[in-house]
Chains A and B, each alone.
Chain A
Amino acid sequence: MGIIHNFKTQFYICLKMRNLNHYILKFTATVLFCFISLFAGAQLPKLIFSPQWLPQAQFAGYYIAKERGFYKEAGIDVEIVHPTTSLQVTAMLKSGKADVISLFLTTAMTCKNQGLDIVNIGQISQHSAILIVTKKSSGISELKQLNGKKIGVWKSGFDELPKALIAEKNLKVEWVPILSTVNLFMLDGIDAMTVMSYNEYDQIINSGLDENELNVFPLADLGYDIPEDGLYCLRSTYEKKKSELNKFLISTLKGWQYTTENKDSALNIVLQTMQLAHVPANKAHQDWMLGKTLELINPGHKTVKPGELLETDFMNAATIINKRDKSSSTYLFTDFYKKPIE
């Protein structure tokens, strides 16, 4: 099909076709690897981990943990399998194609509420990266000026927090679902846009708008500092593989610690991973993303140990979801958050 539906996907697929030969090689390599694994690494219990998006710096810590052998040192064999646009991580979890996935906290809570029996085994990000941005040229410099305006929001989710914020401020806005680009915002098709600090915000900057031309409303500063990326598995998996999951969490945190200390080499590994997966790799953007992701992992003002989920954050998230859904569902922290080994 000639019509674009998602720029990244489009590009991704075409690159796939372009590199058919490479795939044959990769296939051969994978078969060989399987044989080697069967004989050499058969003893190591295996875990398949799926981050929630295509390869990028947001997942640097996992790549590092694998690349530096932290998982193997801990005694587990971890394979990182990224989702595709047609196969979401939750579907991979359900079908058993993944043992552990990463998800937004609010997304995970919603999924659990909708019947997917998952548990959080570790909370990586401790802060919200969501920003609402407006162009200064639009004249919107205060939140209340958003009343009656059009705000772009991800069609795929992550909309709970901005919607809760707007509801709390009693503003009436028109939410415009956006797939992935910032073009509608750039062309003034919408007045404001929700963006991730590590991703779309930098896309706007890389499309030629200067930071001083934007008004930014960080949700974290407006009382919505809800954690984002966490590690999830099915309750059944949790019951069976507590020890492996514990090792996975500890090695992952080690991977992130290493990333913090070795940002340049981590960035190179991210770029290599992206190139191997034939995803367009823009170093400047990935550098920005890595910096912002590490800021989100740093507990900052929160008194929380790395990898732990705060009950207060969980309860705040529950309130926000209920407010959005206009429901009064009960969310049990102890049922949701399970340390692999208590």
Chain B
Amino acid sequence: MKNRTLAATIIRSVLLFCIGIFAVIFSIYYYYTRETIKETTRENAIFLANNTVNQIEQVLNPIEKIPDIIARMMESSFLTEDSLIPFLQSILKNNKTIFASAIAYEPSYFPEKGLYYAPYVFRQGDSISTTSLGGENYEYFFMDWYQIPKMTNSSYWSEPYFDEGGANILMTTYSTPFYTYKNGVRTFSGVVTIDVSLEFLKQIMSKLKILDTGYAFLISRNGVIITHPNQKYVMNESIFSIAKANNQPGMRSVGRNMVQGKSNFASADFKSKFKSGKLWINYISLPSSHWSIGVIYPESEMFASLRKINIILMLLVVFGLSLLSVFITRIINNITKPLKLLASSARLIASGNFNVKLPEIKTHDEMEELCDSFIYMQKELAEYIVTLKDTTSAKEKIESELRIAREIQMAMIPHIFPPFPDLPQIDVFAVLKSAKEVGGDLYDFFVIDGDKFCFAIGDVSGKGVPASLFMAVTRTLVRSISDKETSPSVIVTSLNKSLSDNNESSMFVTFFLGVLDLKTGLLKYCNAGHNPPVIIHGNGEVTMFEKTKYIPVGLFEDFDYQEISLQLEDGDKIFLYTDGVSEAENVDNKLFGDDTLMNIVSQNAKATPRDLIHRMEEEIATHVNGFTQSDDITMMTIVYDGKHNRS
């Protein structure tokens, strides 16, 4: 795995946190800024639309008043038929915005004038001309401009149309009904009209500046496009036909709102072939003609400033986070620099160089504390190692001495087998395995006066060096006493006396000593508190000696030990052992036990002394199964072969 630096870990965590915080802040900022822009645009859009409406109404409103006044004059008979044409002419003269005006009467209103009577005054170049409307090819009674005011009893702004004069001028007609009294009854009598050029509308609408590429359009009461930047639409299409052709129900819905005189500023729920992208629309109705102005705002331009700010903000954030990363890296590096030095010093110390100089840190913070701790640790370690060296050399010395002591101890007991090649009556094999370097067990055998075989086994209380010294004393005393005596009881009593004398450390020995007359096979023995040996008869029968009633030697100076005699037969064997055998423990604290010992002896009754003892060793090893040996183990087997006497 690649090593991660602390700086990288901290930067990653801090950056992630900062980016998270920024995302939240940015989202909130974006939402509110967008709402603000929307609201500002809405206010501007409404202001712009109202302003445009006012400009248009400033032209249309005064025009509406003229036919209304004429109608009232007609009703009150203020205008006579003769004065109609001069009156209309004067109106045209005084109102440059008016293109033409007519007063159209109901059929045969003046019977003498025929079916049609409609004086019509219009501009022709710079002059004002007069004619009369109506005829077989121009039945004005059925024209919208006449019929609609008549049927609805209200004034009417016609759908825009192109001037018939051929100047390609967009026109509209305002017509209002007038009434006269016939036989005292107020009766519809005709319509007063004013024709107005809509060129001024084009100018007003084209002057509107909406963002970069936004635009305004005007639709009639039926949704017909009156002005639009796309000239192909003008008077050819209605907002509804465009919606249908492009399958935009949202556009139709807006169109319906517009022709119904509603106003709104909203996100456009439609796509335009003329202007791609998401759009917003503001629409408002003209109070006079009920036409409607629509203003299109491309969303991309509406929120262009926001987008620009967003980009700048993003760049600033990236720049800021980069700076932050550099800053954090420097701080972390400054903090971790002593740590790195400490780490390399620690490695040198670990390799044994305790005198390495640790970096000096004077930051007065945790780092300095850490460094102080390191210096203290370095000092303590150095001292400890010195102590350890001394202790180790002392220990090595002791171990060496113990090794020598063991060799001396082992040299004190017979270890050459068979020991008496010239005495065929007897065969002996023995082992002594100390639990520690030196042990407290002992065995010994030797021949006295040529035919007395003396053998002994013992176990000193305690272990280690004191026990081994006590054992050496015991062995030396036995050899020394048995030079003059052949009676086991005398030997043991004498030994007890010598050992008990000045026995400050109150140590004692369990001791078994036997003297076998090689000629007769008579065994005399004295058992001072030792484990009873096992006798293996020539016929394979195995029995344990009686348990002794005598205490171990070295305890009471004047204790009187007695001996017991036992006649051995040819082939009888005696198996002697210390409690290290019968009390050998395994990991479960289970003892090897006398029963197991007896069984093994029985099973190997015919074995040679060497084989029996090796067999016993194996069984003990199996039993303890590697568990640490806690006591010295000593075994000795003697075979008496009396038949050699007779030969």
Contact = CB atoms under 8 A, between A and B. Distances in A.
Contacts of B255: 208
Given A3-B173, A14-B164, A187-B148, A178 B142 contact: yes
A11 B142 contact: no
Contacts, number: 136
A287 B244 CA distance: 10
B162 A184 contact: no
B193 interface: yes
A187 B143 contact: no
Interface in A207-223: 207-208, 210
A138 interface: no
A207 B259 contact: yes
A2 B137 contact: no
A205 B646 CA distance: 153
A282 B245 CA distance: 9
B163 to A, nearest CB: 6
A150 B151 contact: yes
A180 to B, nearest CB: 9
A187 B152 contact: yes
B241 A4 contact: no
B522 interface: no
Contacts of B162: 10-11, 14-15
A186 B152 CA distance: 11
Interface in A47-90: 85-86
A187 B244 CA distance: 23
Contact of B164 (A2, A182, A281, A285): A2
A46 interface: no
A187 B156 contact: yes
Interface residues of A, number: 43
Contact of B240 (A181, A190, A205): A205
Contacts of A205: 240
Contact of B148 (A17, A183, A207, A287): A183
A3 B102 CA distance: 9
A14 B166 contact: yes
B241 A282 contact: yes
A283 B142 contact: no
B100 A208 contact: no
B140 A3 contact: yes
Interface string B146-174: 01100110001011011111101001010
Contacts of B171: 2, 4
Pick from B140, B144, B156 the residue with the most CB of A within 10 Å: B144
A329 B221 CA distance: 46
Contact of A3 (B120, B142, B240, B260): B120
Interface of A: 1-7, 10-11, 13-15, 17-18, 85-86, 150, 155, 176-179, 181-184, 186-190, 205-208, 210, 280-285, 287
23 contacts: A2-B99, A2-B195, A3-B140, A3-B145, A3-B195, A4-B145, A5-B138, A7-B159, A7-B161, A11-B162, A11-B235, A155-B139, A176-B147, A177-B142, A187-B156, A189-B148, A205-B240, A207-B222, A208-B238, A282-B238, A284-B244, A284-B245, A285-B241
